[in-house]
Structure 1
Amino acid sequence: MRAFLEKHFPERRVFLRSDADTRFIRLRPMTQIIAAAGGTMIVSWTIIATAILLMDSIGSGNYREQAMRDQQTFRESLNAMAAERDLREQEALAAQDRFNTALERISVMQTELLQSEARRGELETGIDVIQSTLRKTLDERDEVRAELAALQAPSENGEREALPAYAEDTLNVLTAALSETAEERDATERGAQDALAQADEMAERIALMEDQNDAIFRQLEEAMTVSVEPLDKMFRAAGMNTDTLIDQVRRGYTGRGGPLTPISFSTMGEVSSPDTERANAILERLEELDLYRIAAEKAPFAMPVHGRFRYSSQFGTRRDPKTGGIRQHYGTDMAAPVGTPLYAAADGVVTHAGWSSGYGRLVKIKHDFGIETRYAHMSRLGVSVGERVSRGERIGDMGASGRVTGPHLHYEIRVGGKPVNPMNYIKAARDVF
């Protein structure tokens, strides 16, 4: 071993010379081996550490870029859904305008039809009166002719008796009356024919109008289905009972969204027509849509952060960022720079605005349906207790107050005092808005 070491690591001397003296340092083979091994280890450690740092930096950069791309894609999808929702709302309003116009036209056509039927009834009555008068006149004429023939019959001596003056006058009056009656009859028949023709034309117009109304009804029904079903699906996806929800809004919300008056085209207590029933069904769907819209404003479906952020921690069991232990997390963390604006997720009343242990600066908002939202670790509070806020209203800024490792928003939703996953509401609203 010594021969091997002396061959590859011969003893070396390092001379240190000064003006008055010369000294040297002896480097034995073992010392050289230890120095070489130490240098190799230092260089290897440096290379490995540098490679790990570079790989971690590249990986984190790719993760941030992917998160930014996913967030941008989500925003574009959200904007597209909002535009589609506005388009559907405009189509529903336009369909409602067309529906109201069609109802007005139907009312006018029905009024004209009723007037035409009344006129036809009057004409038929007049024709009956004229015909009875004509028959009576014809009977009187026949009687007068019989008397006239008897008067004009030759007497026993073979000579005709002269007609009295009153008989000649009566005959002339009857003849004139018959002529006038015949003319009135002809005029009445012509009027009746015109009335029948108008009635047929009116019936054709009504049939055409019914076809148009059926098309309008179909469009309205489809628009209502397209508008109501996504909202119903959104509430059900958030775990809310839509039947109870709508009943509660209908009972408690009196300022807006009251019940619509059903349509009735008859005041005689008659059975409603199919068009009336369809119109009333559409009005009920419109009322339901309005109630859904009110409920959507009162439930926390809006995002509390509108700017760029990332989800840094989800709802449920997690490893505590400070102690490392397993703990329950009752909200969703959204990380962004200090001062990022925060907004109310729904209409409600502020029940707490101040410092709370662990939460830091905390805002609690009470909403309808037994829902409460919490916004923790804020740097600035923009609301006070008792203040009523609207959906999308700014309530403060994001910060790092309380028990945190960095600036973020701790967002909680509680229903009946029990915490629920905020992502249920966020994902449900993502498919609609």
Structure 2
Amino acid sequence: MFNKLKAVIERRFPERRVFLRSDTETRFIRLSPIAQVTSLLGGTALVSWAIVATAILLMDSIGSGNVRDQARREQSIYETRLNALSSERDSRAEEALAAQERFNLALSQISQMQSSLLASEDQRKELETGIEVIQRTLRRTMNERDDALVKADTLSAELEGTTGSVRTDSGRIQDIESTVDFLTSALELTAGERDEIADTASEAQASVEELLLQARLAQERNDRIFQQLEDAVSISLAPLDEMFRAAGLPTDRIIEQIRRGYSGQGGPLTPLSFSTRGEPPSAESLRANAILSEMDRVNIYRIAAQKTPFAIPVKSAFRYTSGFGPRWGRMHNGTDFAGASGTPIYSTADGVVTHAGWSSGYGRLVKIQHEFGIETRYAHMSAVRVEVGQRVSRGDRIGDMGNSGRSTGTHLHYEVRVDGNPVNPMNYIRAANNVF
């Protein structure tokens, strides 16, 4: 078999000689059939390898170009989304300011309405007193008139039936004329008083009707005001309540805790006081107190929102690089915001600084204790701008973005902990998107 293969190779590739001649001598190189076949196979393998390598390089170059284009498109989409979120945040801020203005206007209208209701109540009571006095005077005058008529009839009967008087006829006539004149004067006076009382009663009735009309108009106006206030309070309260529930916070406990910070009624809005005469509260008072209660809830939510980390810690340009959850086999307890070194970092809620300095893997770290058992952490800073024990408000600058500690690049590691347990910070940030 080998000999046959060798014979075939010798026929295809006969032995060749390559002569090399110089000025002084001539030499040759003998190329056997096996050497020729080996050279041919080696050259063929080399050319094939060059073709395959070139094809791989071309495919890799084309693929890299596609990846770069895809990265540019994703970056453009991400920037567009960030701009949309920024515009939406500004819009929500304007809506919050408008809601605050509506709240202040509603509070002013409630105060004016309360004053108007109290004035109407005083006028009604004065009118009732005046009508009662007029009715008593009218009854007394009518009784006096009836008594005078009875006396006149009695005197007339006595004059007509009297006999055997020692007075002369002329004297009796004078007495009768005097009595008649007296009765006529009394009747005229009584008739005048009656007419005067009737006029007074008519005027009082007209005043009553006018006051009733004014009261009805005031009631309709108050109904419209109440309806507008109820709508405004409902519009203001619903997103705030939804924001706290979306963040997973116990709204009833938060409201009770905020109320304990006030004296008396437990809030800045005091309900209308009811009558001390034992009268049941009016429908307007009950309705006004219901509105005041809802407005008090809105105000408490506004105060609680300042004490809860609903804000974003970075206001300049940034990008999200890592979210809350498992990462590389370990739990990532926060959200990472990447940006330029020195980017300002802000407190996301009112609170007290409990740590401001170096902390192993966190690098330069700031911890802030808030209400309701909530703590926020800001790690890997390049500079810390607060001190332990310092009280900060939402939006106060607390440090600069950096790359300190166990970090692979400039970014902010932001954590939210409730009763010591880490929670997803984006729950709070997303919950506030429709409010702030």
TM over 0.5: yes
Which residue, out of 160, 182, 190, partners 1:181? Answer: 190
Q: How far did 1:390 drift?
A: 0.2
Look up the match of 1:288.
Answer: 297
1:405 alignment partner AA: T
Report 1:184-223 matches (<5 A). 184-223=193-232
Look up the match of 1:278.
Answer: 287
2:393 alignment partner AA: S
* Correspondence 1:240 to 2:243: no
1:142 alignment partner AA: D
Structure 1: how far apart are the matches of 2:88 and 2:232?
22
More displaced stretch, 306-315 vs 24-33: 24-33
Q: How far did 1:143 drift?
A: 2.4
Q: How far did 1:84 drift?
A: 1.7
Q: State percent identity of aligned pairs.
A: 42
2:172 alignment partner AA: L
Report 1:377-416 matches (<5 A). 377-416=380-419
2:141 counterpart SS class: helix
Cα 1:134–1:4 shift into 2, 3 Å: farther
Report 1:137-176 matches (<5 A). 137-150=148-161, 160-163=169-172, 168-176=177-185
Look up the match of 1:352.
Answer: 355
Structure 2: how far apart are the matches of 1:104 and 1:378?
56
Cα 1:256–1:171 shift into 2, 3 Å: closer
Structure 2: how far apart are the matches of 1:94 and 1:210?
20
1:330-353 per-residue CA deviation (whole Å, 9 max, x = no partner) reads: 111111111111100100000001
8 Å contact from structure 1 (residues 154, 161) kept in 2: no
1:378 counterpart SS class: strand
Cα 1:296–1:3 shift into 2, 3 Å: farther
* Correspondence 1:420 to 2:431: no
1:147-205 per-residue CA deviation (whole Å, 9 max, x = no partner) reads: 33346x899xxx94532766654443332122111101111011111111211121122
Which residue, out of 216, 231, 237, partners 1:228? Answer: 237
Structure 2: how far apart are the matches of 1:80 and 1:286?
23
Cα 1:165–1:295 shift into 2, 3 Å: same
Look up the match of 2:374.
Answer: 371
Structure 2: how far apart are the matches of 1:344 and 1:403?
22
Look up the match of 1:48.
Answer: 59
Look up the match of 1:32.
Answer: 43
- Structure 1: gaps (5+ residues): 320-325
Q: How far did 1:98 drift?
A: 2.4
8 Å contact from structure 2 (residues 127, 208) kept in 1: yes
Look up the match of 2:3.
Answer: none
Q: So what's the TM-score if we normalise by structure 1?
A: 0.88
8 Å contact from structure 2 (residues 353, 368) kept in 1: yes
1:344-366 per-residue CA deviation (whole Å, 9 max, x = no partner) reads: 01000000011111111100000
Q: How far did 1:254 drift?
A: 5.6
Look up the match of 1:262.
Answer: 271
Look up the match of 1:323.
Answer: none
Look up the match of 2:89.
Answer: 78
Look up the match of 1:95.
Answer: 106
Structure 1: how far apart are the matches of 2:184 and 2:282?
54
8 Å contact from structure 2 (residues 95, 435) kept in 1: no
1:177-236 per-residue CA deviation (whole Å, 9 max, x = no partner) reads: 221111011110111111112111211221121121112111111211111121111111
2:432 counterpart SS class: helix
8 Å contact from structure 1 (residues 144, 171) kept in 2: no
- Structure 2: gaps (5+ residues): 1-7
Report 1:113-152 matches (<5 A). 113-150=124-161
Structure 2: how far apart are the matches of 1:73 and 1:269?
59
1:23-45 per-residue CA deviation (whole Å, 9 max, x = no partner) reads: 99999534533442343244223
Structure 2: how far apart are the matches of 1:21 and 1:221?
119
* Correspondence 1:59 to 2:61: no
Higher radius of gyration, 1 or 2: 2
2:171 counterpart SS class: coil
Cα 1:238–1:33 shift into 2, 3 Å: same
Cα 1:5–1:275 shift into 2, 3 Å: farther
8 Å contact from structure 1 (residues 364, 374) kept in 2: yes
Structure 2: how far apart are the matches of 1:263 and 1:36?
98
Structure 2: how far apart are the matches of 1:141 and 1:202?
42
2:111 counterpart SS class: helix
2:260 counterpart SS class: helix
Look up the match of 2:120.
Answer: 109
Structure 2: how far apart are the matches of 1:357 and 1:191?
93
2:196 alignment partner AA: A
2:135 alignment partner AA: E
